């Protein structure tokens, strides 16, 4: 066990190499500096530098295989699970280099939650899906666990739909409900950052709308980074947008600017649907 | 056509056994002692053999499940897939499955009885004139069978671990669970039916085996039931061999022989049934959540 992170919230002055970001006065929480990532000899991310501001929604857009999910998984070190991954450059969260030797990955993941493309509730009850994360944190008191479960389900706008069947299987929920349960599970342990990897790509428009409302709600409390294929979705819910192409960060700016007046031709071609 | 042939052969074997053996079955035969004359149709009982066989199979299960499951967990969840070490372990598991059972018997004699048991005696009972651990015994026979059935349990467990979606493991890890917590609380509960299948296969394979216990624990005759793990035991399968080769009058002892075979089949079936019932219960619990 390495020493726990002192505090991911403790902020340090951003280094000069980070590109100017549309922060709306929000300080940067995630700072990526000259990050390259290799799968074996193949380079998936190329020299990426930018910052994700606190308590805003940042969207990653770009065609399939552009590295946006790979980058997202750098923020909670999920790429550690894959053999042959090599990183260059740094990722700092709250000023802390999360790839430093003395970083506790477990502690990092408790502070950087993740919601996956395919909803992946545990084959347990709705209650236990959320309680699992809390018990991992060492919570034992039943009343306390029940309180947080209820609170998280409220936050994930799922409480009204499931309050009468908390002890039924989570797999009996609809796709959209399952995904909101996964969000409830992720926010139950109160992370600073919520990473979402195409959270609505498998859902119908109605369920997607609910997830989007939820995201707008959650950004009051969490810094959200969302990967999406859906350009309208990025435009609707994000404050900042980063466009990736072939492992490179092409442009990163305020969402309104990216979608109305992008600086780069490639970005314009992509957001207007000319390719990708 | 081939299916019918197989069914016909099975029906022939079982029909023959149950027709000839069923008549000899009685509570006196099953629960009776063999302490008078085990070749006497009128008085022979097979209870010591039933006890011995059940004991060695149950003990074997207790040994093989933890070791097999831990090995499978290591291989699927922890070992780097392409490392030479992993490949050596996998190769060893596959080769272990191909070793003839009599070789396991000799291994048990050499390793468990001579090496392990002998060493224990040197350190624990240096003054004892007779070996305590370094002789054929229930524990050594069970361990030998456990080694023999290890590949079955490992392969069955590995299969069921592999069938569990990566998404569940990722979900757990992303919540800040350690790998061990993920394996114990998310992966293993899902893999339980597959693990039990491995256990069932191991029990089936081990129950009828004679060769591995020949040198490691089975006794030709014992006046009483085994009292401890270091005692020898009488065994149904071995008794079938004894009855068919050592009998003074093969025609007269034929009913006992058939009866013993029926009891062996019923015991194997009963042991399997216990495991199958446990598995059905586990599956039902899992299905409630699916």
Give ipTM to 2 decimals.
Answer: 0.87
One pLDDT digit (tens) per residue for chain A, 276 residues:
444 444 544 444 444 434 445 556 778 899 999 999 999 889 999 999 999 999 999 999 999 889 999 999 999 999 988 888 999 999 999 999 999 999 999 999 999 999 999 999 999 999 999 999 999 988 999 999 999 999 999 999 999 999 999 999 999 999 999 999 999 999 999 999 999 999 998 889 999 999 999 999 999 999 999 999 889 999 999 999 999 999 999 999 999 999 999 999 999 999 888 765
Chain B residues in contact with A169 (beta carbon < 8 A) = 288-290
B25 touches chain A (CB under 8 A): no
Chain A residues 199-218 with a CB less than 8 Å from chain B: none
Residue A5 lies in a domain: no
In 3D, which of B191, B192, B188, B217 has the Cα closest to residue B59? Answer: B217
C-beta atoms of B175 and A171 within 8 A = no
Residue A120 placed within a domain: yes
The Cα B249–Cα B257 span in angstroms is 12
Chain A nearest CA to B178, separation (Å): 7
Question: In sequence order, what are the beta bridge partners of A37?
Answer: A45, A87
Residue A106 token pair: 């477990």
- Model-level pTM? 0.84
How close does chain B come to A128, measured CA to CA in Å? 11
Probe site for chain A from B174, B177, B180, B189 (most A CB atoms < 10 A): B174
Q: Is residue A12 part of a domain?
A: no
Residue A4 lies in a domain: no
Which residues of chain B register pLDDT less than 70? 35-36, 290
Phi, psi of B283 (to 5 degrees): -60, -40
Give the SS3 label for residue B45. Answer: coil
Average pLDDT across chain B, whole number: 90
The phi-psi region of residue B33 (left if phi > 0; otherwise alpha if psi is between -120 and 50; otherwise beta) is beta
**What is the domain range of residue A179?**
28-271
With respect to residue A84, please indicate whether it lies within any of the assigned structural domains.
yes
* Residues 107-136 of chain B whose Cβ lies under 8 A from any Cβ of chain A: none
Torsion angle, CA of B155/B157/B163/B169, rounded to 10 degrees? Answer: -130
A150 lies in a domain?
yes
The reported pLDDT for the residue numbered A13 is 43
User: Which residues in chain A are contacts of B175 at CB distance < 8 A?
Assistant: 109-110, 113, 132-133, 136, 185-186, 189
Distance (Å) from the C-alpha of residue B159 to the closest C-alpha of chain A?
Answer: 19
Asked if residue A22 belongs to a domain, the reply is no
For chain B, domains (ranges, CATH) are: 2-289 (1.10.3720.10)
Residue A13 included in any domain: no
Domain CATH for A235: 3.40.50.300
- What's the number of domains chain A is made of? 1
Within 8 A by CB and 6+ apart from B2, the residues are none
B 76-95 residues with CB below 8 A of A?
80-82
Alpha-carbon distance of A14 to A58, in angstroms, equals 18
In chain A, what residues touch B177 (CB-CB under 8 Å)? 106, 136
């Amino acid at each position: 066990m390495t020493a726990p992170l002192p505090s991911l919230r403790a902020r340090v002055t951003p280094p000069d190499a980070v590109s100017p970001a549309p922060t709306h006065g929000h300080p940067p929480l995630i700072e990526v500096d000259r990050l390259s990532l290799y799968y074996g000899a193949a380079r998936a991310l190329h020299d990426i530098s930018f910052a994700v501001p606190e308590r805003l929604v940042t969207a990653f857009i770009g065609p399939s295989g552009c590295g946006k999910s790979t980058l997202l998984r750098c923020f909670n070190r999920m790429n550690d699970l894959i053999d042959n991954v090599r990183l260059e450059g740094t990722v700092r969260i709250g000023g802390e280099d999360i790839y430093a030797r003395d970083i506790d990955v477990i502690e990092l993941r408790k502070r950087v939650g993740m919601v996956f493309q395919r909803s992946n509730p545990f084959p347990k009850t709705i209650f236990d899906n959320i309680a699992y994360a809390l018990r991992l944190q060492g919570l034992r008191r039943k009343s306390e666990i029940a309180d947080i479960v209820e609170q998280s389900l409220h936050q994930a706008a799922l409480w009204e739909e499931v309050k009468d069947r908390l002890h039924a299987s989570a797999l009996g929920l609809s796709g959209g409900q399952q995904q909101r349960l996964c969000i409830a599970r992720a926010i139950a342990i109160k992370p600073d950052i919520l990473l979402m990897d195409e959270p609505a790509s498998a859902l119908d428009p109605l369920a997607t709308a609910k997830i989007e409302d939820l995201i707008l709600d959650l950004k009051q409390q969490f810094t959200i980074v969302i990967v999406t294929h859906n350009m309208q979705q990025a435009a609707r819910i994000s404050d900042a947008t980063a466009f990736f192409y072939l492992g490179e960060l092409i442009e990163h700016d305020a969402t309104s600017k990216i979608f109305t007046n992008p600086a780069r031709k490639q970005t314009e071609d992509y957001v207007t649907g000319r390719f990708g | 056509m081939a299916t019918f042939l197989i069914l016909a052969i099975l029906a022939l074997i079982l029909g023959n056994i149950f027709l000839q053996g069923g008549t000899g079955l009685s509570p006196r035969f099953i629960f009776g002692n063999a302490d008078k004359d085990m070749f006497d149709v009128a008085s022979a009982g097979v209870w010591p053999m039933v006890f011995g066989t059940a004991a060695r199979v149950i003990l074997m299960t207790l040994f093989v499940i933890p070791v097999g499951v831990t090995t499978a967990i290591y291989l699927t969840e922890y070992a780097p897939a392409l490392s030479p070490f992993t490949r050596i372990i996998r190769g060893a598991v596959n080769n272990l499955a191909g070793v003839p059972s009599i070789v396991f018997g000799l291994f048990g004699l050499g390793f468990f009885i001579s090496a392990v048991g002998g060493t224990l005696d040197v350190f624990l009972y240096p003054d004892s004139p007779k070996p305590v651990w370094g002789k054929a015994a229930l524990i050594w026979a069970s361990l030998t069978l456990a080694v023999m059935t290890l590949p079955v349990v490992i392969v069955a467990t590995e299969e069921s671990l592999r069938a569990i979606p990566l998404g569940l493991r990722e979900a757990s890890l992303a919540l800040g669970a350690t790998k061990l917590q993920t394996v114990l609380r998310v992966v293993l509960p899902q893999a339980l039916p597959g693990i039990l299948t491995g256990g069932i296969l191991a029990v089936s394979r081990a129950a009828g085996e004679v060769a591995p216990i020949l040198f490691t624990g089975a006794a030709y005759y014992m006046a009483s039931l085994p009292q401890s793990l270091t005692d020898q035991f009488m065994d149904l399968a071995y008794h079938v061999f004894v009855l068919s080769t050592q009998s003074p009058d093969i025609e007269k002892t034929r009913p006992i022989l058939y009866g013993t075979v029926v009891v062996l089949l019923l015991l194997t079936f009963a042991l399997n049934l216990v495991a199958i019932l446990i598995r059905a219960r586990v599956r039902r619990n899992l299905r409630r959540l699916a």
